[in-house]
Amino acid sequence: MENGEFRISAINIRNEPIEVLIHSCPHCSEAIPKIGECPECMTQFVHMDTFEDFKTGFIHYIYECNGCPPDRRKARKVIKATGIIDESRLSIKKDLADSFLKSGGY
């Protein structure tokens, strides 16, 4: 794990497999996906909140672009972790779940 970042396999809302880069949020220290910049204004998205939909099992990561006008700021990244590939992935998934529960994000 370099610079506190690592990759996990996930499924997006269209059931497509994706690789997700996880890092520590500079504001709340929660382990969150890195999603890049706003395509409209090229400003880095800021993590605002995380919650889990227990009916679907999806974890919702809420980000906001501080560069766009307020009426267009919300961006939502939704991912769901897939099966474990190896034992190291199992500990990563457990750490993510523990971090999520400790953050009060449910």
Can you give the pTM of this predicted structure? 0.59
The tokens for 79 are 């991912």
Count CB neighbours of 43 within 10 A: 14
List the pLDDT tens digit at each of the 106 positions of the chain.
456 888 888 777 777 888 888 889 888 888 888 888 888 888 888 888 888 877 777 777 888 888 888 887 766 655 555 444 445 555 666 676 667 667 655 4
Compute the distance between CA of residue 52 and CA of residue 30 in angstroms, rounded to an integer. 14
